[in-house]
Amino acid sequence: MDFYEEYKKLLKKHGKQGWWPIIKNNKSQYHPGNYEYPRNESEKFEISIGAILTQNTTWKNAEKALIRLKKNKKLSPKAIINEDIKELIRPAGYYNQKEKKLKIFSKYYLEKKGREPTREELLGLWGIGYETADSILLYAYKKPIFVVDAYTKRIFSLKEDYETIRKKIESNLPSDYRIYQEFHALIVEEGKKSRKK
DNA sequence: AGCCAGGCTACCG
DNA sequence: CGGTAGCATGGC
């Protein structure tokens, strides 16, 4: 399958998606066509936390949790490590597991002292699997790594395992993080719409 | 009123 | 290895 053609078709159909959203004034701010995000460390951290919160959950619910963390000044590695955040992240579901995941990620985040994370390190953390690791690398660190999700498999009828699919798609696209970011977001948009009918 | 969301781990055979 | 229960809230 020519995934670059599929990408262009979806782009024409849905337009630029502006992922990953950043919380501003208590709502998700998308930035279509602007690939400069994230602009600082706290935005990188926010994207990473959002990637964990949205596991098997709608963005709407993850967003609620993110906003509550931010409102209560708890959207920082230290606060997440030291405070009880279960009640704040409750809307995102699985709050017991997700609190643990956020604490583990936050410790790792501090320990690496500003150095960029590696894929192997992220995958080694409890609570971070392929999709979450790759979302962090692609959207917070602009690494040209394609994020495979359930929609990707369904829309293109792909049955292989994660890594096989990822490499197959990557080898059919220009190695440009902006295209990877857009394509994954477009697939989610297409997947959400095509399910409702 | 059940099914599913921008998954992952643990455990089973 | 492949398959699946459990985790939990909120929207439709």
Please list the ranges in chain A whose pLDDT falls under 70. 196-197
Q: What angle do CA A127, A105, A141 make, to 5 degrees?
A: 105
How distant is C1' of C2 from CA of A183, in Å? 29
Distance A91 CA to C5 C1' (A): 22
The model's pLDDT over A85-99, given as tens digits with 9 standing for 90+, comes to 999 999 999 999 999
Return the ∠ at Cα A194 (arms to A190 and A197), rounded to 5°.
160
Q: Looking at this protein, which amino acid is placed at residue A55?
A: Q
Instruction: Protein contacts on strand C: list nucleotides below 7 Å from a Cβ.
Output: 2, 7-11
Each as own residue / partner, the long-range contacts of residues A117-121 (CB below 8 Å, 24 or more positions apart, any chain) are: A117/A141, A119/A145
Q: How far apart are CA A80 and CA A133, in angstroms?
A: 19
Q: Which helix (H) or strand (E) holds A110?
A: helix A95-111
The gap between A58 CA and C11 C1' (Å) is 9
Whether A58 CB is under 7 Å from strand C: yes
Tens-place pLDDT, residues A119-150? 999 999 999 999 999 999 999 999 999 999 99
What does pTM read for this prediction? 0.97
